[in-house]
């Protein structure tokens, strides 16, 4: 049996005799072929920036050689050593490409690679047409036959994946990925377009589309693992950055994953940490990442970094390498982040290695130092030039757990004694307020389920006493949800109270609190700026806790700073003025209206109160005014504003 000879592969291109071809007119466009043997020489020197080949001086119409070496007007090469350095076989020195020879400085880097294709090089005038590689080495630059052009560059607007089409021309559609139609090449028939097939990647990963979160995805991670908590917190944080409030985002994560109470507590703690330190985390990611990560990957990093370096100086809750390991595990378990697991691992480990240098550089920016948007920082400085740093610092601290004692059930002294018997350390901070030294789950608070106490900030507990309600009065609590002030009023006196709120779902929370405390009120779903719901009978007391930016309770709701915009202040102030004017006509003579906001901005508080008094000729009574959240034993409350008005008979 004879051995078969094995064919050998030669890398040398075989020279083929150039057969005369029919003369075809040169096609206009960026992709047309150049004709050989041009009669009209082209002027030497670099082509002007932005000028395509079709806009250059016309070439002569000579026969185009055939064969492998004829691509783009080059003659066949005898061997692979020819690098195309100015001449091709069988042509005169001045006839190469129908143009005069260029000097070395003018050469646009159009040499040849080992396969006989043209290779990329620097161009004069900074032109980059992306046309320098052949079909065997093309990596997405320029255009392939039968394929669309793709560009991985970024525009000046810092938008990911936005660039220009080759040749510097904008396609005018607003999308950088518009397909360039191949120019006709004489009698050559363009290849048929490919039949659309099933995409190799998920739709939300396509570079032309905005990534869409898979919030309903259920991972296979164990619920008692740190990876499960990190992934849940990252999903909620990504939803916040797309405009969802953090409580609603967390509720969706809990429901989609059937999270246990223990897992819910861990997810919530990590998510709130991430919101309080989001600006620093974002800037650190920008310093380390070579390109902007996808939304869920970015959020995964943003929830992991605060666990490795708490900005408030408190001890880290987990070992740093444990956080890295669990963050990578979380990334592997979700389809939106699995392909970025190596980047997550690399960035977190780099942070551990270069922690001091990265923090020093990041903290040069005010947003990272204070963890607020720049417009928020500027607004606090303008409103409170002496206390602005304390106000910003207090908003980044976790709030204390403050309780309101229901004096219908027990006295404050008796309740403090009960807490002491239970081994819970607490302090009296108001007429009805008790602050716990350490937070406790609400259903583990002694007497909570029985209605002996409710959770309410010490500053918010001032509202009901300021109204001075008496038994038998008609009282309106406008914008009542979630019902803390409503219940406090009913704890102080037997009144006929109407709780008004525009959202029927939020009124359900009011009813739940009333049931727990064994109290009664009339719930009215309606907008406070309207009067169609009103029966015409005036109220003796009105509590107007009007909508605002909630900038004073940012320590309880750290996502507010990232959801609000500077323009929201004026819009909400306009709505509040409409509500106040509408409620004023519902107030009986000698009645009192208490105006309350949880905002730090004077446009929503003091300026609003002064304008209201002038418009309605209201008598302004003594009230606390603006409460600044400065922290400390005596001022550890939210940033609320109170203004009390009386209607003259």
The catalytic site residues sit at 598
- Measured between its terminal Cα atoms, the distance across the chain in Å is 123
CA atoms of 522 and 46, how far apart (whole Å)? 83
CA–CA dist 292, 295 (Å, integer): 9
Q: 338-346: list long-range contacts, CB under 8 Å, 24+ apart.
A: 339/205, 340/293, 340/294, 340/297, 343/289, 343/293, 343/297, 344/297, 344/300, 344/301, 344/304
CB 249, CB 240: distance < 8 Å: yes
Task: Report the distance separating Cα 377 and Cα 383, nearest Å.
Answer: 10
User: What Rg do the C-alpha atoms of the chain give, in angstroms?
Assistant: 36
| CB proximity list for 18: less than 8 A, separation 6 or greater | 65, 66, 67, 70, 75, 76, 90
| HSE of 154, CA atoms in CB hemisphere, 13 A | 8
- Retrieve residue 535's tokens: 């029966």
Residue 629 contacts residue 639 (beta carbons within 8 Å): yes
**CA dist., res. 622 & res. 610, Å (int):** 14
In this structure, are residues 144 and 107 in contact, taking their beta carbons and an 8 Å threshold? Answer: no
What is the rounded CA–CA span in Å between residue 347 and residue 344? 5
Residues 6+ apart with CB under 8 A from 209: 203
Within 10 Å of residue 189's Cβ, how many Cβ atoms? 7
State whether residue 48 is helix, strand or coil.
coil
CA–CA separation, 597 vs 552, rounded Å?
9
């Amino acid at each position: 049996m004879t051995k078969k000879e094995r064919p050998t592969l030669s890398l040398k291109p075989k020279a083929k005799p150039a057969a005369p071809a029919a003369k075809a007119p040169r096609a206009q466009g960026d992709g047309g072929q150049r004709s050989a043997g041009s009669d009209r020489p082209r002027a030497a020197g670099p082509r002007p920036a932005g000028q395509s080949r079709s806009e250059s001086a016309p070439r002569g119409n000579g026969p185009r050689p055939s064969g492998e070496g004829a691509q783009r007007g080059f003659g066949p090469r005898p061997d692979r050593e020819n690098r195309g350095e100015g001449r091709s076989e069988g042509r005169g020195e001045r006839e190469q490409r129908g143009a005069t020879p260029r000097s070395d400085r003018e050469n646009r880097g159009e040499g040849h690679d080992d396969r006989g294709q043209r290779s990329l090089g620097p161009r004069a005038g900074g032109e980059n047409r992306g046309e320098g590689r052949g079909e065997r080495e093309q990596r997405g630059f320029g255009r392939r036959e039968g394929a669309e052009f793709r560009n991985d560059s970024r525009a000046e607007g810092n938008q990911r994946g936005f660039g220009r089409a080759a040749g510097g021309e904008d396609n005018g559609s607003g999308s950088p990925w518009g397909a360039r139609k191949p120019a006709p090449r004489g009698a050559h028939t363009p290849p048929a377009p490919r039949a659309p097939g099933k995409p190799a990647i998920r739709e939300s990963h396509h570079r032309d589309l905005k990534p869409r979160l898979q919030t309903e995805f259920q991972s296979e991670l164990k619920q008692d693992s740190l990876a499960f908590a990190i992934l849940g917190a990252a999903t909620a944080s990504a939803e916040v950055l797309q405009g969802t409030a953090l409580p609603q985002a967390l509720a969706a994560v809990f429901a989609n994953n059937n999270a246990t109470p223990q897992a819910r507590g861990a997810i919530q703690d990590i998510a709130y940490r991430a919101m309080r330190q989001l600006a620093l985390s974002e800037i650190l990611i920008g310093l380390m990442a070579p390109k902007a990560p996808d939304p869920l990957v970015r959020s995964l990093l943003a929830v992991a970094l605060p666990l490795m370096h708490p900005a408030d100086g408190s001890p880290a809750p987990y070992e740093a390498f444990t956080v890295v390991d669990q963050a990578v595990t979380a990334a592997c378990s979700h389809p939106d982040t699995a392909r970025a697991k190596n980047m997550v691992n690399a960035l977190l480990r780099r942070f551990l290695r270069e922690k001091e240098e990265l923090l020093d550089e990041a903290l040069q920016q005010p947003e990272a130092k204070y963890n607020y948007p720049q417009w928020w920082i500027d607004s606090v400085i303008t409103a409170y030039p002496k206390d602005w740093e304390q106000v910003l610092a207090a908003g980044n601290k976790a709030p204390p757990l403050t309780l309101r004692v229901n004096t219908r059930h027990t006295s404050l002294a008796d309740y403090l004694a009960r807490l002491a018997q239970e081994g819970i350390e607490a302090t009296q901070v108001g007429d009805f307020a008790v602050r716990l030294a350490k937070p406790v789950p609400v259903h583990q608070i002694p007497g909570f389920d029985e209605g002996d106490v409710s959770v309410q900030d010490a500053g918010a507990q001032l509202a009901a006493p300021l109204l001075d309600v008496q038994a038998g009065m008609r009282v309106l609590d406008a914008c009542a949800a979630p019902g803390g002030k409503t219940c406090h009023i009913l704890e102080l006196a037997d009144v006929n109270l109407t709780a008004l709120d525009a959202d029927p779902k939020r009124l359900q929370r009011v009813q739940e609190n009333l049931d727990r405390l064994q109290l009664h009120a009339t719930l009215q779903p309606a907008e406070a700026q309207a009067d169609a719901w009103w029966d015409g009978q005036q109220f003796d007391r009105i509590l107007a806790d009007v909508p605002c930016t909630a900038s004073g309770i940012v320590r309880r709701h750290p996502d507010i700073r990232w959801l609000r915009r500077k323009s929201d202040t004026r819009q909400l102030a306009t709505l509040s003025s409409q509500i106040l004017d509408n409620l004023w006509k519902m107030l009986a003579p000698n009645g009192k209206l208490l105006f309350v906001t949880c905002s730090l901005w004077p446009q929503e508080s003091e300026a609003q109160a002064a304008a209201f008094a002038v418009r309605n000729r209201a008598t302004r009574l003594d009230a606390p005014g603006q409460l600044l959240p400065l922290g400390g034993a005596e001022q550890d409350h939210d940033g609320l504003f109170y203004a009390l008005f009386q209607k003259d008979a």
